[in-house]
């Protein structure tokens, strides 16, 4: 079960598909969800594994206590979750479906508040999936969340928007105990 705001943006994204598999950035009108703009963001895909913030809503910036423009989305996640989050973004791009990361916002000085991070692929002017529309949806105490900046995000589970089933985690390959992938 996801937050109604997450469902709302998923439905909006699907309605923008028209006859294409993935909506274009140009088909998204932020005024259609103006009440959620502080929680939304757009990240680009500059290279494999590099997702810089292009636009950042005020809530997202305030939560991290920083201007995130140009910073890579993956840098916000704890190191143990980097490969899983990157894999979820790659799957969303390949499947043409949004993904929701059930996460914890880990505050400076301790404490964690639950958060849904929704990411939906978008087609850019080049015709390639080169950006994501995102949403930070708090599911815990907003007041506690904003009292202290979030130092990093921790992933708890991944859900594909279509099935709302956990997505498979990344598995590492090893030969004789040595990681190779």
* Confidence at residue 165, expressed as pLDDT on a 0 to 100 scale: 40
What is the distance between the alpha carbons of residues 108 and 154, in angstroms, rounded to a whole number?
Answer: 13
Predicted model pTM = 0.85
Assigned token pair, 161: 């928007």
Report whether pLDDT(173) > 70. Answer: no
Taking only the tens place, the pLDDT of each residue in 85-144 is: 999 999 999 999 999 999 999 998 888 999 999 999 999 999 999 999 999 999 988 888
Q: What is the largest distance, in Å, between two alpha-carbon atoms of the chain? A: 55
Assigned token pair, 77: 């996640």
What is the distance between the alpha carbons of residues 146 and 24, in angstroms, rounded to a whole number?
Answer: 33
* Confidence at residue 164, expressed as pLDDT on a 0 to 100 scale: 37
* Confidence at residue 17, expressed as pLDDT on a 0 to 100 scale: 86
CATH class entry, domain 4-16+38-162: alpha beta
* Confidence at residue 81, expressed as pLDDT on a 0 to 100 scale: 96
Report whether pLDDT(153) > 80. Answer: yes
In the three-class reduction of DSSP (H, G, I as helix; E, B as strand; rest coil), residue 83 is classed as helix
What is the distance between the alpha carbons of residues 166 and 169, in angstroms, rounded to a whole number?
Answer: 9
* Confidence at residue 55, expressed as pLDDT on a 0 to 100 scale: 95
Taking only the tens place, the pLDDT of each residue in 27-84 is: 999 999 999 999 999 999 987 779 999 999 999 999 999 999 999 999 999 999 999 9
Identify the DSSP state of 167. Answer: P
Residue carrying the six token digits 């910036």: 61
Residues whose CB falls within 8 Å of the CB of residue 89, separated by 6 or more in sequence, listed in order: 51, 73, 99, 119, 132
Average pLDDT of 160-165? 50
Taking only the tens place, the pLDDT of each residue in 1-23 is: 789 999 999 999 999 987 788 99
* Confidence at residue 179, expressed as pLDDT on a 0 to 100 scale: 62
CA separation, residue 163 to residues 60, 152, 166 (Å): 27, 27, 8
Residues whose CB falls within 8 Å of the CB of residue 104, separated by 6 or more in sequence, listed in order: 112, 113, 114, 115, 153, 154, 156
């Amino acid at each position: 079960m996801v937050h109604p705001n997450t469902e709302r943006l998923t439905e909006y994204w699907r309605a923008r598909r028209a006859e294409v598999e993935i909506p274009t950035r140009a088909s998204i009108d932020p005024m259609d969800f103006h009440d959620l703009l502080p929680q939304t963001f757009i990240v680009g895909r500059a290279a494999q594994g590099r997702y810089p913030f292009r636009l950042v809503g005020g809530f997202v910036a305030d939560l991290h206590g920083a201007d995130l423009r140009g910073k890579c989305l993956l840098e916000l996640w704890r190191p143990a979750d980097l490969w899983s989050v990157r894999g979820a973004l790659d799957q969303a791009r390949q499947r043409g479906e949004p993904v929701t990361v059930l996460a914890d916002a880990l505050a400076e000085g301790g404490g964690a508040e639950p958060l849904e991070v929704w990411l939906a692929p978008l087609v850019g002017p080049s015709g390639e999936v080169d950006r994501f529309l995102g949403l930070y949806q708090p599911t815990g105490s907003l007041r506690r969340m904003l009292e202290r900046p979030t130092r990093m995000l921790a992933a708890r589970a991944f859900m594909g928007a279509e099935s709302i089933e956990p997505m498979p985690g990344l598995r590492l390959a090893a030969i004789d105990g040595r990681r190779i992938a």
